[in-house]
Amino acid sequence: MSLNPVEHSVLDAIAARWSPYRFEPRIVEPEKLIQCFEAARWAASSYNEQPWSFLLAQRENDDSFKRMLACLMEANQVWAQNAGVLVLTVINTRFKRGGKPNRVALHDLGQAAAHFALQATALGLQVHQMGGVNLSKIRHEYEIPQGYEPQTALALGYPDQSEPSGESAVELKQRESGPRARLPVREMVFSDKWGDSANFGAP
């Protein structure tokens, strides 16, 4: 598996993380799965609120897996059906203490999801995250209480590393290489005002 074309040295897991569209249809060992959640658990959050929660479906539990798969948009079901694990993410939109709205709950869920994905990569797994889920169906199916909001889905599994073949090979290759490019740093980091590229102290 080739690494991301990083321009400066970064953590191995960051260099090797990507979002596959093809998984081997095999289970994920529970101990590895728990390690991914443990990683998520230690993400930073505003006031250490930990506004994230997760719904889990493992491939080895066929009913549970199919029930969760049906909560994804159809285009995602096509490839996510081969994942070893599906996860739905949920945020608590208010602080437990005081009940004020937590403006950054979704942000902090993102941090937990990033930890989850990096831990997966370190274990030889990969995660493909999806915004394309049926939010109202999830709320109903899993009885999400008021004040909590479903957000995204994660497919976790062993990426299928074989060369794509058959009719869709070219399309699949393009689709898989797309996510492995990024905007240059100069379009992402600014200094005096938004849009003015930072020079990082270079003269």
CB 95 within 8 A of CB 147: no
Q: Specify the residue, 137 or 167, whose C-beta has the smaller distance to a copy of itself.
A: 137
Using alpha carbons only, what angle is made at residue 109 by residues 89 and 88, rounded to the nearest 5 degrees?
10
Number of amino acids touching a copy of itself (CB under 8 A): 85
Q: Does 13 bind a copy of itself (CB under 8 A)?
A: yes
Write the interaction track for a copy of itself spanning residues 113-142; mark x where CB under 8 A is met and - where it is not.
xxx-xxx--x----x-x-x---------xx
Q: Which of 69, 90, 125, 155 binds a copy of itself (CB under 8 A)?
A: 90
Member of 26, 64, 73, 81 binding a copy of itself (CB under 8 A): 64
110/78 Cα distance (integer angstroms) = 24
158 binds a copy of itself (CB under 8 A): no
Q: How far is CA 185 from CA 25, 118, 189, 190, in A?
A: 37, 21, 6, 9
Stretch that binds a copy of itself, among 70-78, 106-114, 162-170 (CB under 8 A): 106-114
Report CA torsion sign: 68, 79, 28, 149: negative
Asked if residue 106 binds a copy of itself (CB under 8 A), the reply is: yes
Given a contact cutoff of 8 angstroms between Cβ atoms, the answer to whether 21 and 180 are in contact is: no
Give the 3-state secondary structure of residue 174.
helix
Residues 15-54 binding a copy of itself (CB under 8 A) are 15, 17, 19, 30-31, 33-35, 37-44, 46, 48, 50, 52-54
Q: Does residue number 152 form part of the binding site for a copy of itself (CB under 8 A)?
A: yes
